[in-house]
Every structure is written in C-alpha cells, then in structure tokens.
Structure 1
Amino acid sequence: MTIQELEKLLQEPERENLEFKNKSSFSDDELFDYCAALANEGGGYLIFGIDNKSRTVVGTKLFQRTLQGYPGRILNVIDVRVKVEELPHPKGRVVIFQIPSRPKGRPIQSRGKYTYPMRAGESLTEMDQETLRVIFIEVDDDFSSKIVPSFLFNDIDESALKRLRELLQLRNHSYSQKTDKDILRALELMDDDGLNYGALILLGKKERIDQLLPSAEIIFEWRQEPNKISHDFRKEWRAPFLGIFDNVWKVISDRNIRIPIQEGLIQREVLAFNEQAIREAILNAITHRDYTIVSQSVFIKADPSNLLVVSPGGFLPGITPENVLDRQAWRNRRIAEVFQKVGLVERSGQGMDQIFESTIRDGKGLPDLSGSDSSQVSLEIPARVKDKNFILFLEKIGHEKQTFFSFGEIYQLELLREKRTLSDLKFKEKFLELGVVEKVGRTSGVKYILSHRYYQHEERPGLYTRIRGLSREHKKELILEHIRREGSGKKKDFKDAFPDLKTSDISNLLQELKNDEKIERIGSDRAGYWQVKDVSN
C-alpha cells in the first residue's frame, strides 16, 4: 500500500471491513479475533497507527521485531492467509493487515475471546446462530454456467472452436454433422439466453477475455535453481483455454529432464514432469478455481525439483488436503463436464487420483497440498525420484506373484514408506500374504512396517532393524536386567526405558515375566514395585 492509498482509505466512511487502531498493546488473541471477524465480514483492512476518531496518522510501536512472523502465525491459527506490511508514513510508522474474505459456506473460527467473531460497530461480538446457519447453507453457484450478456457468438475464437470440434469428433463422429451452435448447445455452453462463462473461458477471443474476465489467465515461471527468487523464464496466457492448453504443456515439456533408472542390465527413463500428471493438475486448476477473485491468476511455478500449481479460491466446504482423494466437488461444473465430454479427463473427480498415482509409480513420493488455505489451492508435484528402489521392489513383487497393485494399494504403501510405521493399514491381508509388509507387536501395540525383503532390496538392512525395534523377548530381558541391577523396578521406570510403548503393553510384559515366575509384585498397584522372584525355597 502506498501513502496515497492510505490517505484515500482515511477519507472513507467507517464500515464493517475497515478497522483503524491506535493502541500501545494488542494481544495475539485480539489480533486473531479481529482478523477472523474481518474475514467473516468479507475481508478488509486492520490498520495500526491511526487515531480512529480524527483519522490521522499517529504511528505505532506494535509488532516492531515480530511483524514478519505474523502471516504464518495467523495462518496456523485461523487458516487465513493475511498480507502484512509496514508503511513508513511521514507522521509515523503504520502497520497494515490485509485480510481476505472467508470462503463460501465456512465461517472463520478464532481461538481468542470469540469462537466465530463478527463486527459489532467498533468492537466484536460472537456470531449468532442465525448468521452461522446462513453461512453453513451457502452454496457455491456454478460460475461457469452463468450467462455473459455481452458475450456474443461472434466473440468466439475460431481456432479454439476448431480444436473443440476435433476433440469431440475423436470420440463421436456424429459431431461432424452438427453446426457450431448445435455443438455449443449440446455441451450446455449456450442456451436461449446466450453464452455462459464456460464458453468465454474455453472459447472466447483474447480481446473479449481481456474485457470481460481478465483473471482467466495462466502464468508460468521457470527457475533453474529451486530457491532462486527471480525467474529465468516467464510466459503468460490470457486466451481461450482450448486454444492454449497444448502450448502450456509444450512450454513446460521443453524444460523436462530425463531421469535414468537402472535395474540390472535394463535401463529406463522417468520424466521429471509427467505429462498426464501435469495436464491433470492444470485442468484441475481451471475447473476448480474461483473466477470471482478478479485480482489473481492461475500460477504454475517450476524448477528441476518441483512443479507448483496455485489456483485462486480455497477448497470447497467439506474438502481438505486430507480427504481430497475421497471427496469430489466442483466449483465450475459446466467446465468439468465439457472436459469430460471432449476426453481431456476420463471421469470427473479422478484427476487428483491420477496425479498422486503417477508420482508414486515414478518413485517421486506424494504430491503436497499443505500450502493450501481458504484463499488458494496449492498443489506441489515432485519432479525428482526419491526412492527408485521402492517402486522397483513393488514391480518385482508384482511380476513374481502375478499381481497388480491398485492406486489405493500403492498409496497406502507409499504412506508406509514415508512414515516408516503405521498402526492402521488398509489391504493389510494382501500385503502380508505377498510379503510386502510385516506385523510387529501384539494386540493394541500392533504396527506395520515394510518387510525385511524390501530393506534388503534397498540394501539398508540396518534401517529395518531400527524400524522394527527390539523383539518382545529382548524387551523382557531388559526389564529383568533392570530389576536385577537396581534391586527393584516400578512401572514408571519401564515407561522411561520404552517411551514408545503404551502403559498396557508394559503391563503385559510384566505379567508375562510374572507368569514365567521370574519376577513378583510387592505392594499395591500404585505404591508397589517389582522384584526378582526368589525361587530357592
């Protein structure tokens, strides 16, 4: 924000999304509450260093040493990506928090004095149940199906329309007999009221997109080094998507890297940027982005290690990074249906599955959605092979046992590879039968690890030993050794010795030693202790 822009805000009448503060102290909980309240009001500014009554700059000493850390702290607490800046005004230091609007269907929750704060004059109050109910039942309209009154048939790009025909005729030759308008009606891009935003985004001439929906833009940046600040190459597309989609992939593919994978005498190659995964990620961004956010475009940022696709608008209500593979929802259903009908996607809702599956089968690990929040979806697709031995091992097992691993199965195995152990594992019966995983422990202490054969294949048997841990008999021997050395032992001693074990598991080990007549209990459960049993009598 510039000084001129601030001065303009100072002249505006007070409203629900503009708050000025002149305070010498302001707690973190107050800050979280105000940011959440402003987000719940549709977004706005929280500005420190301004006298609210006179609307003059008085300066502030708040957040002087900690300002840069607040965007991350606010994001962690209320899941809102806030922009923070310091403005050196001639009359004093001004601190500006710019808060985006909450997503449809989801009120922003805080952790301060209020659970769901909202504005009440110059102060805050708890959001009432009726307001909450109205928010929770909000439904995202299909933006892509809305009619654009000033967008006419003559505004359609001929080359994009030709590409649409080609894609349709590959799947159904009968489209060759249809007129252009018949095709648009069949795809529900046009009706008696006119053409909709789906038609504009997919087929509109560049100059009409510039005028009617300039946010329908894709920006690509390439960096030779992952942590480099400035880009080495940049290209922007604001044109009909069906006319540029192949070119977007070509620009990315021109920077592709071939990664050799050697297995014995056989060598094959994996591409850093898998075409299917990248195309799916771009289609996903075009389908799900929020086009009402007019100040942001779809960004694709790539370097030799990753490709990042960031699209405006957070996940729809009920969708999270954790359940994105199990739940489907569409912000722009009309566009999603067109992509399916022309064959750019096999079936709506499966794109994310295919992205995850391709990265796992290439040995690159899992895509990362952790950069997503209420204002954007951030999908980072790994480009480097992390563990070629893992995928080669699964291929070897599949060949030997004449079996195929489904996406759900390799996804579970990849989670196990990354986390090393899992207490709950889907498809465990099949994995145990194939010798892909092993079960360690008993009853409530059971965990699953990748098998010894995998770590032999990876030539890291020592890692297997560490992950598997001590055997049950070895743990009992250590307990017995402790009691002999110390003269006695309490349960808390063994909890210190085995911090990863549950209290019930330790009790079971002690009970087994007692049943073997090696130790005995002296005193009550709470105050008593264990000692070596005297078997001389």
Structure 2
Amino acid sequence: MNKFTIQQLQQMRESEDRVEFKAGEGGNISYDGRGKTNPKDRRRCILGYVIALCNEGGGRLVIGMHDNYPHRVTGTRQAHNAIGQLESDIYRDTTIRPEIYELYDEENRRVLVIEVPSRPIGKVFKFEDVPLMRVGEELKPMSDAMYLKILQESEPDFSEKICEGLSLEDLDEEAIRVMKQGYAQRWNKPEFVSTPTLQVLHDFALMNKGGQLTNAALILLGKSEAIRKHLFCNRVTVEYRLYHSMIEYTARQEFQEPLVLMVDSVWNYINQPASNPLQHYNDGFRIGDIPTFNRDVVREAILNACCHRVMYIQSDVVIKQYPDQLIITNAGGFPVGVDVDNILTVNSMPRCKLITEVLQKAGFIEKSGQGVDKMFYHCLMDGKCLPDYSLTDEWQVCLRLPGEIKYPAFMLYARELQNARPANNKLNVFDLLALFRASQGDSQRYTDEVTLRKLIDEGLLISAQDGYKLSDRYYEIVKKTTVNVTGQKDDTINVQLLDINKLTERQTVIYNSIKEGVQLNVQLNTTDLSNKLSIGFKTMQRELKVIENLGLIVRVGSKKTGHWEVINKG
C-alpha cells in the first residue's frame, strides 16, 4: 500500500482528491452515529464517510487533521491500538474492506488514515438503507440520476437474453434475407445468401443451442406483431413540425418493424422531397446542391439510438423533424464513460452489444464506435453545424442534427482538399475538425498534438498571432463563395459584401443573420441568434463582440434585452 505522509495530505483538496478531513471532538468521531436522533447527524460518522467515499470511486478519510486548507494536525486517539479491529468492524458492517494506517507529526500527534477502495462496477453502498454521496460538507442521499447511472454500469446485455415464447415463425423472412445479403456483400461471400437460416441464427448468436431465440433476434428480425407482443416499447416515432415553436405535429408516423428493415423505412419517410429539400450553393459559375439531411448521418443516428437505448425504460426512440433540423432522443443517457466532451474519442460501449455485433457483421455499421465519427465527418464535409449532444442528461440522449449549410466556404475548401488527396491518405474527421476550428477562430481548443503537427507540416495550418489560421487557399475560396438555400438570389448571404479578412465564416453567418433580420423587420437579440444558429450563448457573445469591435454591428437597447442591427457604411 502506498502510504501518504502528513505533508502530502496537507496539500490535498477534499473534492479534487476525494479526501475527507475530520478533526473530531477531542480528536475522535462517531463510528456509526449511534445516539444521534437526526439522520443527517448520524450520517456524519466513520461508516457514513466510508460509504460515501466508496460510492464516489474510493478515497480516504483522515481523522486528526483540520478540514481547512492546509489541514493542520489536531491529533486523534481514534482506534488507538485497535486498527485491526476497526478494519474488521467496517468490513463486517459494510462489506467494504479498507486499509488503515497511522501517522505522527514532529510533535508526536497522531493522524489516522482510512483508505477506502472504489465500489465494484454497478454496486451502490448504503448507510441505514440510504445510498450516500458527499455534497460539500454534507453527506446526502444519492441523486436518482447518479444512482441510475451506477446501476447501468453492470446492466447485462439485454439483447443477449432469451425472449421467452419467440419462435422461428415470428421472424420476418425479408429481414432475414436482407441480413444474409448484407453479410455476403460486406465480406464478399455471395454463397452466404443460401446458408440455412438456422445455421445463420446460431452463427450470429441469435439462437442458443436449445433453439431459443434472443431479444436481438426479436429486435433485428422480428415481425411487427411479434415486436408488439414481446417488446412494445421497441418503436421509432417520427414527428414533423413546420417550425420549432409548434406544439402539435404536422405529420406523425410510428415504425415498429425489424431493425434491419426499419432503418430504411424511417429514412425514406424523412427523405421526402417536401421535407428534405436540396440546398443550393454557388462555387464561382457552378451551382451545386446538397440535401438538407444526409442519408448516412441519419442512418447512423437511428442505429446509435436503437443500440444504446435502455430497453427497460418504456419510451420510444423519438425523431422530431423540422425544415432545418432533426432532434433524435433515446432513453437512458450516455453509456458509462461517455460524455459530450469525449464522444468522438472514447470507445463505444453499446448497451445492446449483440445487436451491434450482428449489425457490424451484416454491413449496417462499419465498426462499433465509428458511427459518431461518420456523423461529424459528413456534417463537416457538407458545411453544416456539428452534431449537438448538449441537451443530453442522465435520462436520455438528445442529438440535434443540423440541416442548413452554414459554412459553404469551408465545405468547398474541405472537398477540394479531399479530392486532391489519394484514397489512402484522405483527411480524417479529427483533421477536418481541427481545420474547421481554425476557420472559426477556435484554435485554442487544439488538444491532439499529432493532428496539429501533421496539418502544420502539410501547410494546411499556419501559425498566427492568436493561434493558427488556414492556408491562403481557404480565404481565396471564401471571397468568391455565396450560398443560397432557397435557390433564388439573396444578396444578404453574399459574403463579398464584407471584409472577409476580418471575419471568420461563423462571424459572417452571424452578421448575415442580423442583416437579414433587419430587412425583415425582425429584432434579434443575443439569445435569438444563439437559438437560430445553434451556437452556444457564451460563444455567441464572444463572436458578437468581435463583430461589434470591427464597427459592423451595434446593439440597440440594454445589454440584457437589446437587439442587434448592422451599421450601414454607405
């Protein structure tokens, strides 16, 4: 055991280092809170702190040092000559096995250190039947969100479980054919399409040796009536609304089919000409077009939602479609270890691992964990805002997929770069993300030194006074690029009207939105712009300040409620 010294303990911070300092009354604290009538007071004992620290992932309880930094020694006689007994008592009462040792300072004052191990995966410890967590100086009942997240850590693969009563007659023959065909194409084995269905079900672990079918077989291949009978919540609902403030939907469709067929059914519904129109952009004299919603992005989002959802929460996968955005939600929050900041880099942990493995074998997904990469990649290549998971909480994952072309110059620049590179040396999603951030003046967010060095060595990133900028070729494209999402001439989106050397592309989009609002007699404040352009409020404040300092816009009214207008320079 790596024992800490008193000097090391004195430099620790309680929250950051998961340590709790207690001077105690007369150097000691209660073992189990016995004799105190208030539950809040009873928790503030050795057992209470050991349980809370264990629930937090482990830490240490230090008795005989003041909790004020730098934690002066007060001394204690807690468990003096009885350390072994204290270890035994804690294990007896909690099943937590601590390691306890004592330290002495130069004045021979004694400090007792109780090293608390981390809880096992999926295990929550309780004091008087209440799971505890530390909140500041208090020990409080664990929040429902944290409790659920811990329980989900050890959640067994739902898709591997046997679906009682499911028979071969309940499986959809067309779904089986599509799965076989997908595998044959993925692995270049055309003969696989004639493989007997029973053998395929066994090979894919969809059926056990006793002939029982799993939940994965139901979800991937089950007929609609079988799904409704055995797993009614396994459904995708699409609602279309003309604008974001609408409460009632304009159109609605429910899908309860085998997943290998449903992903295309949902996409075909979303991909109707009226609800997924083409957006047009100008590249010099050439006019190009891009669909508002990309097929690969939408398919990946649907498959992710179905593979990562929590099945025991009775909730559909819900897709809300607007003319400019898709919002996709599924129950359960992020899997363990995944959050908004690491979603592109952390290894995927699908809740339905068997389903994911079968989808990979059948060619529906390339590799577990690459779906988010693909979504980000296509959004960057299409000049759209990045996929947004910021509304995700402990209970559901919420993904917002943008539809509008916001960054036409970057789109053309990225495509030009990719077209000039050989197939085995294309820029990956992290390369493109670094270039995009530089185009938006966010070069301070670089964390990947390997990517940064690669782009600098290739001349795609150039050192600048406040970070990095793109090569001159990007700014040449910016000067000649216009975008028109309606197919008609619109001078408000013509970036030639601005001094492009002073504005990033995102700042140009913000400026044009303000200018368009003025022409339509619509007053836009900072919050309006943040919501309209799907840009974080603080980021929007920073960008508006830059544009304001350049003398291009002015705030009319108070700082809190005032709106923005463009300054007419003549």
TM above 0.5, yes or no, is yes
SS at match of 1:276: helix
Cα shift at 1:166: 3.0
Contact 2:381 2:414 (8 Å CA) reproduced: no
Aligned position for 1:212: 230
Deviations 1:99-146 (A, max 9, x none): xxxx96799967566466249xxxx9xx9xxx99x9489422111001
Partner of 1:489: none
SS of residue matched to 1:422:
helix
In structure 2, relative to structure 1, the CA distance for the partners of 1:450 and 1:234 (3 Å cut) is same
Indicate whether 1:311 and 2:330 are aligned: yes
Report the equivalent of 1:49.
none
1:45 corresponds in structure 2 to none
CA distance in 2, matches of 1:170, 1:396: 31
- How far, CA to CA, are the matches of 2:445 and 2:331 in structure 1? 36
Correspondence 1:51-450 to 2 at 5 A: 111=135, 114=138, 117-118=141-142, 135=150, 138-171=153-186, 172-193=189-210, 194-254=212-272, 255-294=275-314, 296-327=315-346, 328-396=348-416, 404-422=426-444, 424=446, 426=448, 427-441=451-465, 447-450=467-470
CA 1:116–1:145 in 2, change beyond 3 Å: closer, same or farther? farther
Relative to structure 1, is the Cα distance of residues 139 and 454 closer, same or farther in structure 2, using a 3 angstrom cutoff? same
Q: What is the deviation of 1:398?
A: 5.5
Q: Deviations over 1:36-83 (max 9, x none)?
A: x9xx9xxxxxxxxxxxxxxxxxxxxxxxxxxxxxxxxxxxxxxxxxxx
Residue 298 of structure 2 aligns to a residue whose secondary structure is: helix
Deviation at 1:451, TM superposition (A): 5.1
Contact 1:261 1:388 in 2 (8 A): yes
TM-score with structure 1 setting the length: 0.59
**For 2:202 and 2:257, how far apart are their aligned partners in 1?**
22
Which has the larger displacement, 405-414 or 330-339? 405-414
Instruction: State the aligned residue count.
Output: 353
Letter of the structure 2 residue corresponding to residue 176 of structure 1: V
Retained in 2: the 8 A contact 1:189–1:195? yes
Summarize deviations over 1:446-466 as a string: whole Å, max 9, x none. Answer: 622345653453237746447
SS at match of 2:397: strand
Counterpart of 1:246 in 2: which secondary structure? helix
Identity, in percent, stands at: 30
* Contact map agreement 2:132 2:142 (CA 8 A) in 1: no
Residue 157 of structure 1 deviates from its aligned partner by 2.4
- Asked if 2 retains the 8 angstrom alpha-carbon contact of 1:420 and 1:449, the reply is no
Deviations 1:438-488 (A, max 9, x none): 3234xxxx6223456534532377464478xxxxxxxxxxxxxxxxxxxxx
Aligned partners of 2:426 and 2:195: how far apart in 1?
43
For residues 324 and 138 of structure 2, the distance between their equivalents in structure 1, rounded to whole angstroms, comes to 42
**Alpha-carbon contact 1:363-1:390 (below 8 Å) kept:** yes
Which residue of structure 1 lines up, in the alignment, with residue 527 of structure 2? none
Task: Tell me, yes or no, if the aligned pair for 1:321 and 1:370 is still in contact at 8 Å.
Answer: yes
Q: Which runs of 5+ in 2 are unaligned?
A: 1-51, 56-120, 125-130, 480-494, 505-541, 543-570
Q: How many angstroms does 1:206 deviate by?
A: 1.9
Alpha-carbon distance in structure 1 between the residues aligned to 2:499 and 2:139: 49
CA distance in 1, matches of 2:318, 2:159: 20
Tell me by how many angstroms 1:401 deviates.
8.3
Cα distance in 2 for residues equivalent to 1:394 and 1:115 = 52
- Give the equivalent residue in structure 1 for 2:62: none
Q: Any gaps of 5 or more consecutive residues in structure 1?
A: 1-36, 41-102, 468-499, 501-537
In 2, the alpha carbon distance for the partners of 1:419 and 1:214 equals 48
Contact 2:239 2:249 in 1 (8 A): yes
Shift in alpha-carbon separation, 1:113–1:271, aligned structure 2, 3 A: same
Instruction: Give 1:201 shift.
Output: 0.8
Distance 1:417 1:138 in 2: 39
Q: Structure 1 counterpart of 2:192, which letter?
A: Y
Contact in 2 for aligned 1:359/1:366 (Cα 8 Å) = yes
Q: Give the Cα separation in 1 of the matches to 2:284 and 2:503.
A: 28
Write the distance in 1 (CA, Å) between the matches of 2:371 and 2:214: 24
Task: Give secondary structure in 2 for the equivalent of 1:190.
Answer: coil
